[in-house]
Amino acid sequence: MSNKQGYDISQDIVAPNSIRESPLLDTACIKLDIRVSLVSLFTKLALNPNDLMLDECFLLPNQVRIPQLQFVASRTMFALPLLPYISLPVICETFKFRLQIPIYCGYRYKYTGSEMAEESTSDYKKASSVYDFTVKDGQGNDISLEKYRGKVLLIVNIASQCGLTKGNYAELTELSKKYEDKEFKILSFPCNQFGSQMPEKDGEEMVCHLRSAKAEVGDVFARVNVNGDEADPLYKYLKHKQGGSLGSFIKWNFTKFLVDKAGQPVGRFAPTTNPLDIVKDIDKLL
């Protein structure tokens, strides 16, 4: 499954023995409570099942995987035009064949009532620009965004183990080199909120990861949350100024915000938007 922007699900799922239809499916799913299974799996993966998960959980019958000798859980984003869908494998037993069959279930994010209430009373709305915010670098030092006054900024939440990582790292690196002598800077914020796909710790571990990936993604800051009560104030401000489809919440890794030389957020780009596709927008601001 892919959307018109070209996101290929195979970036996240490599299952040469996958089959689209199987007589095992109906047998394995008899009396299956999908939500309970997902919550159980979330707990096992050390994820926090909460009200970000819709009651609308569903089976994905075209993603049934034949049992492998070594089964590895795969967390996948279905980058549909409007809503991000996540699939997670649930092990279902079928006694008829005495097999354990991993069947993919899906859920999607929603903008939570608690997040809306929290953000409605925050001071971030009083900010006049991104220069009013202070963030942490990888060593825990306070960095005022005032230092970037007069520069065009591309602010992005990065992850190391996402299907979008390789392409975004490569194109963000290309952007960094292209505008090396211009008033332009990429600000990268590691985020582990989406499928725990940014496990690297701040500091040397993060530096080593980026060096190994040959990723030059601008100035890299400490890990942040981008959604929920603990979201970084900068991200609350960015979402307030540049809302997204069906709610302003960040939908996935590599959501991009473009900020002009006056510190005003002027553009927001989906995770599936390639960094190089933003070049024309950047050039207009330089």
- Cα 107 to Cα 78: distance, rounded to the nearest angstrom: 10
Using the structure block, give the residue that is written with the tokens 């049934």: 64
Classify 51 as helix, strand or coil.
Answer: coil
Q: Is 208 a catalytic residue?
A: no
- Spatial CB neighbours of 84, under 8 Å, sequence gap ≥ 6: 77, 78, 108, 109, 251, 252, 271
Distance CA(282)–CA(286), nearest Å, equals 6
Q: What is the C-alpha to C-alpha distance for residues 260 and 154, in angstroms, rounded to an integer?
A: 9
**Neighbouring residues of 242: CB distance < 8 A, sequence distance ≥ 6:** 248, 257, 265, 266, 267, 268
Among the listed residues 29, 57, 105, 162, the single catalytic one is: 162
16: tokens are 């040469």
Q: What is the rounded CA–CA span in Å between residue 2 and residue 275?
A: 19
Catalytic residues: 162
